[in-house]
Chain A
């Protein structure tokens, strides 16, 4: 760093330590200790009262044959499989439209962003009623155009896709804004030059727009993945993880094991594997998506 020399020589070392000391204490207590303790906890059975019982890799062995655990992983993948494409495509379409001279552009941007700022709990309480099979207004609207009632959150096959739709509705505004920023970074002249060379709309999109928004695309993928593996309050409020565990998420399963069954070691072990999956997926996304395009 340039220029830190002149008056900083005296005292700034001490002052530096003083200023970072709150962080060091914070880190030791709320990051380092839990991190180290998690490596102890995953090898034990513990109900939080009473002694810890060492079980070696017992928790991981149990997890391996625990069909509910695997169900929660599959549920998360189902969620991501619907949520990510839906999110990317619809956010990109809306951003592309907003990236023009259009009246009331600021209003639309603000409108799309509103669900992003409101509480997930409130959004879920609201959607629980919208999703109601017999009397919900979603099914009323479908009924008007002659489509049969959809058992949004009462049918195991529909419940997770419904949560994915709701989560997309809630988050999309953020991605519209991010894509819009990416699109606006493309110089107009590039499109004009391409037009002179005879490129059509699809070619312009593929060879100019997509490379420009690639960093945003990677970020959307990563944030969506993190979101998928953090899913908790939506299934907790909407379905309680049901019907038939079809919306049980990884974090909800941790919560259930820890606070319904008081199995801290097993819950920590589940968290441990989820963290590994998240880190691996995010690293792969960074590597491949960034290189490919």
Chain B
């Protein structure tokens, strides 16, 4: 099975690293989308087709938590799992408290940590 994953982070470097980490782990992907903030992400998500969102918390236009709240309010995006990848000191607490967030990874991260989390969230041995 192959997945479409949206990477949401205001750092272009981090988006590139997450993308590369996913490619290194050989998780089969149809599409690796990118957005620089929550607002851009919601526009892409409204088009449909994404299986997972990897999002930072602290972004200039719209952060990961507000994006997740809006995803929860929209029937099209409500069931897409969100994983927080952030340096935010309180990331785990936010991730724990927010419906729709299925995991949290602190920066800096390793490719193995990304693979483990995606495998856990998407829940398949064929990830």
Answer whether A and B are interacting partners. Answer: no
